């Protein structure tokens, strides 16, 4: 049973989901958050469906045991192939970045939608399915961009390598008639200024981190689940490994210092 005073549980394959935590902190400044990042087993974006489903179940169970009031699947790859598993085991409402991003894109577009993400997300066709379930007439053009995750983790957000890579990946998408581009991966919001520059002013970027934070606020309203205590919130970060430069990269994603870190070993 979801309790209003409980924290929101957010999870991802690694630290990329901190972009969602950042959006939640800005949108819902009085909510406690527990973030789980599977830093020992990241990246998920190139793993098989079965492996991702089993890891995802394990993480969802961990957070439910911590008594969260809402589960947010911040990882696009997990949402693409394991959302049914999470929904079937969860005792609390579940939100995910793909549903949120698809809804925002359908509202925004008049011509067509581009979607970029990891190879697993794009091969799953999950965004196209979600968009077509909302409006079958919208044209969707998808493109896997596997080099974006390492570029962002390297901090190469605005240099020639990043710019050329973006141009090369997006060339086939821009040939199509699109007016919205869904950033279908936790890491891509950090590339927003560069992607907007490459896309030009006629294409709007859909940031799933922001849209899922909006959906979270609406869900808390609807279910009367806002934290009744309007005091400084408690943030907790659980990871399966503390890799080199974790603090630096994590803080970049979060936009503030990472504290209250807990490591679990599975």
Residues that bind ligand DGL (CB under 6 A): 12-14, 16, 42-45, 75-77, 117-118, 121, 149, 185-187
Secondary structure in 3-state letters for 158-206: CCHHHHHHHHHHHHHHHCCCCCEEEEECCCHHHHHHHHHHHHCCCCEEE
User: Of the residues 185, 194, 195, 205, which is catalytic?
Assistant: 185
- Comparison of 165 and 227: residue with beta carbon closer to ligand DGL: 165
From the list 128, 135, 133, the residue with the least C-alpha distance to 110 is: 135
- CB-wise, 103 or 227, nearer to ligand DGL? 103
185 is catalytic: yes
Residue among 67, 59, 81 at smallest CA distance from 12? 59
Q: Are 222 and 33 in contact (CB under 8 A)?
A: no
Answer yes or no: 145 catalytic. Answer: no
Least separation in angstroms between residue 47's CB and ligand DGL is 8
Q: Distance between CA 111 and CA 133 in Å, rounded?
A: 17
Catalytic residue among 75, 151, 195, 220, which? Answer: 75
The nearest distance, CB 62 to ligand DGL, in angstroms, is 17
> CB 235 → ligand DGL: shortest distance, Å?
19
Token pair listed for 230: 């309007």
Nearer Cβ to ligand DGL (207/220): 207
Active site residues: 75, 185
């Amino acid at each position: 049973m979801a309790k209003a005073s409980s924290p929101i549980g957010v999870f991802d394959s690694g630290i990329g989901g901190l972009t969602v935590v950042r959006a939640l902190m800005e949108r819902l400044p009085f909510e406690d958050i527990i973030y789980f990042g599977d830093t020992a087993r990241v990246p998920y974006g190139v793993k098989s469906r079965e492996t991702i489903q089993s890891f995802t179940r394990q993480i969802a169970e961990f957070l439910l045991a911590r008594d969260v009031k809402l589960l947010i699947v911040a990882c696009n790859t997990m949402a693409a192939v394991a959302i049914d598993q999470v929904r079937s085991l969860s005792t609390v409402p579940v939100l995910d970045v793909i549903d949120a991003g698809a809804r925002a894109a359908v509202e925004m577009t008049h011509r067509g939608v581009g979607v970029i993400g990891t190879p697993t997300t794009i091969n799953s066709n999950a965004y196209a399915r979600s968009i077509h379930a909302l409006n079958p007439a919208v044209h969707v053009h998808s493109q896997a961009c596997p080099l974006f995750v390492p570029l962002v983790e390297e901090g190469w957000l605005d240099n020639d390598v990043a710019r050329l890579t973006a141009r090369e990946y997006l060339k086939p998408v821009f040939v199509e008639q699109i007016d919205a581009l869904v950033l279908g991966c936790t890491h891509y919001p950090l590339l927003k200024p560069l992607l907007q520059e490459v896309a030009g002013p006629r294409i709007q970027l859909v940031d799933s981190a922001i849209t899922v934070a909006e959906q979270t606020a609406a869900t808390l309203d609807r279910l009367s689940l806002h934290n009744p205590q309007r005091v400084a919130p408690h943030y907790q970060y659980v990871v399966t490994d503390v890799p080199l430069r974790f603090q630096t990269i994590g803080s970049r994603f979060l936009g503030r210092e990472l504290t209250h870190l807990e490591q679990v070993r599975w």
